Amino acid sequence: MTTTTNKKIRVAVLMGGNSSEREISLQSGKTVVQYLRSTKFSVKSYDTKRDLKKFLNDCLAHKIDACFIALHGKGGEDGSIQGLLEVLKIPYTGSGILASAIGMNKVVQKEILKENKILVPKYISFKSSDYEQAKSRQAILREIKQKICFPCCLKPANSGSSRGVSIVKKEKDLAKSIKLAFNEDEEIIVEEYISGKEITVGILDTESPQALPIVEIVPKRKFFDFKAKYDPKFCQEIIPAKLPKKITQEAKKIAKRVHKIINCKGFSRVDMIVKGTKIYTLEINTIPGLTPQSLMPKALRSCGVSIPQFLDKVVSYALKKKRTK
């Protein structure tokens, strides 16, 4: 590994890929390439959809010291690229294989959080193979009506950026929303819809887990969908969130706990809903977006951490993790 004082650390930024979040990943990757300090790092980007062979050849030729993973969704955020990098013995940013896989699968994640007494919305899940059978389909629809009720929130189990997500207000709209979610993944999770204050808590974990200022999300659409996430016209963000001090402290405490339970590393972001004094955890993002419109960079800036400082910390931590294995 080339980390001597006379040579720059050679960082490969992995971006793009094949998931439905490809375009967001490319934006995140461009941010990383732009802001990694040029005095310390030599940076090269690879779109894993087009440049995977070139990337592998460069790894095998010992031309890469570390990888910054800016991939979102399947093939990048689910543990698969992390597994490849483990085999290649290349240090990489963010969480490991297992934490990434758990963070990607909303069903497994919720089961683990429930076991650890973290409050989550009521939910059920089912697979396309079950829904295709008439008898089990009727049982699924009956369970949604009886256990979850309407309105409810439908999500693909393995997806991000609110792709395939719907708020279903009436039973007649259920079939259409299920079809939309199955376009993204073969498994669906149906959650109770909780009307409350939507917040997100970024975690920076390069020494010990630190909760960043809480971001309050005020979408100007039905919910915080893809358009609201990436077009500032459709959402307002308040930093720090307008919450009572006690709720703020508790939300940060829960976010750090979730980060630790899932065994995340480097950084993450925990999405929540506050209703009265209750704080519901929706999900953890093991590779949150780093685009100019993304929530993690805004939270970092609000507490005086610049994007170059953040990237430096994350890459340095990845190299340190490798040395201490």
Q: 248-260 pLDDT, tens per residue?
A: 999 999 999 999 9
In 3D, which of 154, 119, 117, 124 has the Cα closest to residue 272? 119
Active site residue 323: no
Question: What predicted TM-score, i.e. pTM, was given to this entire model?
Answer: 0.91
Active-site entry in 230, 266, 268, 317: 230
Active site residue 123: no
Domain ranges of the chain: 9-93+309-323, 102-119+195-304, 123-192
Report the CATH fold assignment for 9-93+309-323: Rossmann fold (3.40.50)
Token pair belonging to 147: 């256990």
Active site residue 143: no
Active-site entry in 184, 191, 225, 283: 283
CATH 3.30.1490.20 for domain 123-192: yes
φ, ψ of residue 222 in degrees (nearest 5): -60, -35
pLDDT of residue 37: 84
Alpha helices in 216-294 (DSSP H): 226-230, 245-262
Q: 269-319 pLDDT, tens per residue?
A: 999 999 999 999 999 999 999 998 899 999 999 999 999 999 999 999 999
Is a pLDDT exceeding 80 seen at residue 235? no
Read off the pLDDT of each residue in 263-267 and give the average, rounded to a whole number: 97
Is a pLDDT exceeding 70 seen at residue 2? no
Report the CATH fold assignment for 102-119+195-304: D-amino Acid Aminotransferase; Chain A, domain 1 (3.30.470)
Active-site entry in 20, 28, 166, 285: 285
Active site residue 185: no
φ, ψ of residue 26 in degrees (nearest 5): -65, -40
What does each C-alpha distance from 5 to 40, 41, 76, 203 come to in angstroms?
Answer: 9, 11, 31, 30
In 3D, which of 47, 45, 37 has the Cα closest to residue 9? 37
Active site residue 116: no
DSSP annotation string for 19-81: STTHHHHHHHHHHHHHHS-TTTEEEEEEETTTSHHHHHHHHHTT--SEEEE---STTTSSSHH
Please check whether residue 199 is in contact with residue 215, taking contact to mean a CB–CB distance below 8 angstroms.
yes
pLDDT of residue 273: 97
Q: Tokens 């950084």 label which residue? A: 267
Active-site entry in 19, 20, 158, 161: 161
Active-site entry in 77, 191, 198, 271: 271
Active site residue 269: yes
Please check whether residue 151 is in contact with residue 100, taking contact to mean a CB–CB distance below 8 angstroms.
no
pLDDT of residue 249: 98
Active site residue 198: no
pLDDT of residue 4: 45
Q: 72-128 pLDDT, tens per residue?
A: 999 999 999 999 999 999 999 999 999 999 999 999 999 999 999 999 999 999 999
Active site residue 161: yes
Read off the pLDDT of each residue in 171-195 and give the average, rounded to a whole number: 93
Q: 325 falls in which pLDDT band (50, 70, 90)?
A: low
What mean pLDDT is reported for the chain? 91
pLDDT of residue 20: 86
